[in-house]
Amino acid sequence: MQGQKNLQKIHQASKDGVGGSPLRPDGTLKVKGEFAYSSDLWHEDMLWGTALRSPHPRATILSVDVSEALAVPGVYAVLTHEDIPGEKYYGLEIADQPALAIDKVRYHGEAIALVAADHPETARRAVKKIRVEYEVLTPITTEEQCLDPETHGYVHEPHEYKSHAYGNVCHEQKLVSGLGVTDEVRALADVIVTGEYEVGMQDQAFLGPESGLAVPAEDGGVDLYVATQWLHVDRQQMAPVLDLPLEKVRLTLAGVGGAFGGREDLSMQIHACLLALRTGRPVKIVYARDESFFGHVHRHPARMRYEHGATRDGKLVFADCRIVLDGGAYASASPAVVGNAASLGHGPYVIPNVRMHAIALYSNNPSCGAMRGFGAVQAAFGYESQMDRLAEALGMDPVELRQLNAVTQGDRMPTGQEIDAPAPVAELLQRVKDMPLPPPLDPEHPDVRTLPGALSNTSHGEGIVRGVGYSVGIKNVGFSEGFDDYSTARVRLEVIGGEPVAMVHTAMAEVGQGGVTVHAQIARTELGVEQVTIHPANTEVGSAGSTSASRQTYMTGGAVKLAAEAVRHELLERGRHRYGWTRDDLSLAGGKVVSASAGVLIAIVDLLGDDAIEQTREHHHRPTVPFDKETGQGFGHVQYTFCANRAVVDVDVELGLVKVVELTAVQDVGKALNPLSVVGQIQGGCTQALGLAVMEEIVVKDGKVRNASFTDYLIPTILDTPPIPVQLLELPDPHAPYGLRGVGEAPTVSATPSIVAAIRQATGKALTRIPVRPEHLTDTL
């Protein structure tokens, strides 16, 4: 009996395996200040690089004179596009962006020339000595101007288009389902509500600035240590510009201080390598905060028009939607963002008849691309505002209206795609509604620090009204529309110091999301060992794809699982061969090979000996197809994920100040591989949504950025952020590893509309633009 007990103990899932919450392997280094972020790198003899950036959003470059800059003592190189050895253009989806401006600039802050010097201040001073003659042109900045190129001109001349662009339209996606939206369809609805909505330009505002160190190599290539979201796609874009074969451009991930989509495009990668290859010395580039605002793409600002019809009892009849996204000067990820907006832009609702038209424009505003939520965020503000409007028109409870129309497993999206995994939208809403409300404001003894305006002491409780709002959102996981999305992992099992140790090597960018923790958990679970080492991420192993689209645990986690399973298989085969085992009930647990019926067979270390086992596997998700251009039909998304929110706000209606009192989230995560991290992701996602709702916007006027600093671009502080109670649902997705669901983005999609709904409830204002500003609440625009 003792043996059986021991077996139970061996089989007990390790608390540090899948489903547990072991601590981050990099946590101790991070709290000691010893974790090397990309901006912390240092090399003997290194130079500092910086860029000259355009003060104009649109201009023709007549001449560039770098001679004075070159003459500054301590300057080692000054480069323009003429010094680029290879291709001059790059891009994530469309190679339409010059590595350094050629003949014209298309946005405020575009890089024109580069300087390498022995001190960052020397480099900055030299940049000021580069003489550029411009012919300044009127920027093309509004939807109306963009859509009338005959009058206002082209951001890219038509002969420069490198994709299916036309006019100043970078990309478009239409969708029609059911009967579409015709007069006959409209006549079927008892109530019709229309609304026009606007979303401002949000910034990822990751704290660690774009930075890295490029080191020229003896073979004529270059080694780059960099903070990025996808090492291999960086390399793929960089090598042609540097005129080097892929294998001579080697990238290693340096510590990443947040990303949120903003590191999906190149920033300083090519620039640092160009300078290093020219000077023959290591070159470090670290953006200052203003340069960071100029140097990465932002969330697309949007203008949207929605029309919804419903029967008197609340059943949706049709939705007619137009979403216009300002993509700025270069394409970046705009085509994929448009695809998401079009295919997810109706929300998680069953709507028999739909018409949708989503477009991204080229303009002389800052370039926009990937940011957490990726096209689904803007639309969610539109459709959820419409749900509240419809509920009001019907005299229904807004949560009940949503539940009445909520999709569930087996329903079809307007793209025709069947939802073939759990979709507990109505349940998420019910749970969020049932969670206890925070206590009411105590009008007698308020702590002014908890009131709107907080430390500014603007109120002692008078003029403050409380509101409650609800929302739910939908997001896809992974890359869509036929993209061959995959990840690679190498797992090695060997004996070190008498213990079996698993080593996991992937190219996954750890940007703070906790993938490194989860990979170790997966290896522990699959191999039954405690010790796991995570190899630094680099391009020596196959691509991991991007740390975006909520995909890394699904994709790279899936690859680690496959590789670990292959290692386990080989180990057990070795045992079968060596010892003639014929049982098929073998597994690895507690550092041993275990048979369910016969107990412990051998210790892993004894079976492994000096002969380590290593396996590499790719994990591809099931194939998707591109949406039909005209009808939007197609199995375009791998997985859907849902989150519901409730916001409670206090509004000072005299001053227009808002304090979010509580923001509750309930999300279906399929399987929480690491509950502590999952909850942290949801809370962080909700906070970025709060920022978009009430404070975050890059203010662009006539193409010029007015607030490129943390003084003027406001992100939520700990005083602005309320308690965020989170409840998890775990309904496994049969198609995903462990049944998991991507987590990171859904709360950022869903939480913004709940906050705006709560402010509407408190104030009675329509509020069709975010971020909501005090002037919207006090009619003092």
Contact set with other proteins (CB under 8 A): 21, 23-24, 26-28, 30-37, 39-40, 42, 119, 121, 205-209, 255-260, 286, 288-289, 447, 449-450, 455, 511-514, 676-677, 679-680, 682-688, 709-711, 715, 717-719, 721, 723-724
In the bound state with other proteins, the residue whose beta carbon lies nearer, of 419 and 649, is 649
317/187 Cα distance (integer angstroms):
10
Rounded to a whole number of angstroms, the minimum distance from the CB of residue 419 to other proteins is 29
The torsion angles phi and psi of 524, rounded to 5 degrees, stand at -60, -45
**E-assigned strands of 718-775?**
726-729, 769-770
607 half-sphere exposure, CB direction, 13 A CA radius: 27
In the bound state with other proteins, the residue whose beta carbon lies nearer, of 533 and 683, is 683
In the bound state with other proteins, the residue whose beta carbon lies nearer, of 17 and 139, is 17
In the bound state with other proteins, the residue whose beta carbon lies nearer, of 676 and 731, is 676
639/626 Cα distance (integer angstroms):
15
Helix-strand-coil split of the chain, %, nearest 5: 30, 25, 45
Residues 26/261, Cβ–Cβ less than 8 Å: no
Residues 742/477, Cβ–Cβ less than 8 Å: yes
**700-701 and 486-496 beta bridge pairing:** unpaired
CA distance between the termini of the chain: 79
Rounded to a whole number of angstroms, the minimum distance from the CB of residue 516 to other proteins is 11
In the bound state with other proteins, the residue whose beta carbon lies nearer, of 317 and 537, is 537
In the bound state with other proteins, the residue whose beta carbon lies nearer, of 461 and 680, is 680
424/10 Cα distance (integer angstroms):
36
Looking at residue 83, what DSSP letter applies? G
222-226 β-sheet, strand order = 75-79, 111-117, 47-53, 283-286, 211-216, 222-226, 249-253
Rounded to a whole number of angstroms, the minimum distance from the CB of residue 55 to other proteins is 20
Buried b (16+ CB within 10 A) or exposed e, 33-51: eeeebbbbbeeeebbbbbb
H helix or E strand, kind and range, residue 476: strand 464-477
In the bound state with other proteins, the residue whose beta carbon lies nearer, of 147 and 448, is 448
Rounded to a whole number of angstroms, the minimum distance from the CB of residue 38 to other proteins is 10
Rounded to a whole number of angstroms, the minimum distance from the CB of residue 602 to other proteins is 36
Rounded to a whole number of angstroms, the minimum distance from the CB of residue 108 to other proteins is 20
In the bound state with other proteins, the residue whose beta carbon lies nearer, of 348 and 373, is 373
Rounded to a whole number of angstroms, the minimum distance from the CB of residue 33 to other proteins is 2
Alpha-carbon torsion 365, 366, 368, 371, what sign? Answer: negative
Residue 684: how many other CB atoms lie within 10 Å: 20
The torsion angles phi and psi of 457, rounded to 5 degrees, stand at 60, 40
Rounded to a whole number of angstroms, the minimum distance from the CB of residue 720 to other proteins is 8
Residues 310/370, Cβ–Cβ less than 8 Å: no
In the bound state with other proteins, the residue whose beta carbon lies nearer, of 609 and 723, is 723
Rounded to a whole number of angstroms, the minimum distance from the CB of residue 40 to other proteins is 4
Rounded to a whole number of angstroms, the minimum distance from the CB of residue 769 to other proteins is 24
In the bound state with other proteins, the residue whose beta carbon lies nearer, of 28 and 60, is 28
Buried b (16+ CB within 10 A) or exposed e, 752-764: bbbbbbbbbbbbe
Compute CA distances 29 → 251, 252, 347, 518, 623, whole Å: 22, 19, 42, 18, 40
In the bound state with other proteins, the residue whose beta carbon lies nearer, of 454 and 601, is 454
Q: DSSP secondary structure string, 270-327? A: HHHHHHHHHHSS-EEEE--HHHHHHHS-BPPPEEEEEEEEE-TTS-EEEEEEEEEEE-
Rounded to a whole number of angstroms, the minimum distance from the CB of residue 675 to other proteins is 10
432/726 Cα distance (integer angstroms):
9
- Token pair 């660690």 in the structure block, residue: 208
Rounded to a whole number of angstroms, the minimum distance from the CB of residue 364 to other proteins is 27
Chain centre to alpha carbon of residue 121? 33
In the bound state with other proteins, the residue whose beta carbon lies nearer, of 109 and 255, is 255
463 half-sphere exposure, CB direction, 13 A CA radius: 14
Q: DSSP secondary structure string, 544-607? A: ---S-TT-HHHHHHHHHHHHHHHHHHHHHHHHHHHH----S-EEEETTEEEETTTEEEEEHHHH
In the bound state with other proteins, the residue whose beta carbon lies nearer, of 6 and 28, is 28
In the bound state with other proteins, the residue whose beta carbon lies nearer, of 500 and 512, is 512
Rounded to a whole number of angstroms, the minimum distance from the CB of residue 366 to other proteins is 19
Rounded to a whole number of angstroms, the minimum distance from the CB of residue 561 to other proteins is 23
Rounded to a whole number of angstroms, the minimum distance from the CB of residue 399 to other proteins is 24
In the bound state with other proteins, the residue whose beta carbon lies nearer, of 389 and 475, is 475
Helix, strand, or coil (residue 692): helix
Rounded to a whole number of angstroms, the minimum distance from the CB of residue 255 to other proteins is 8
Compute the CA torsion angle 268, 270, 274, 276 (nearest 10 deg).
60
Instruction: Give me 764's structure tokens.
Output: 């009675």
Per DSSP, what are the bridge partners of residue 117? 48, 75
Helix, strand, or coil (residue 340): helix
In the bound state with other proteins, the residue whose beta carbon lies nearer, of 120 and 178, is 120
In the bound state with other proteins, the residue whose beta carbon lies nearer, of 290 and 565, is 290
Spell out the residues 6+ positions from residue 188 whose beta carbon is closer than 8 angstroms to its own.
Answer: 309, 311, 317, 318
Rounded to a whole number of angstroms, the minimum distance from the CB of residue 372 to other proteins is 10
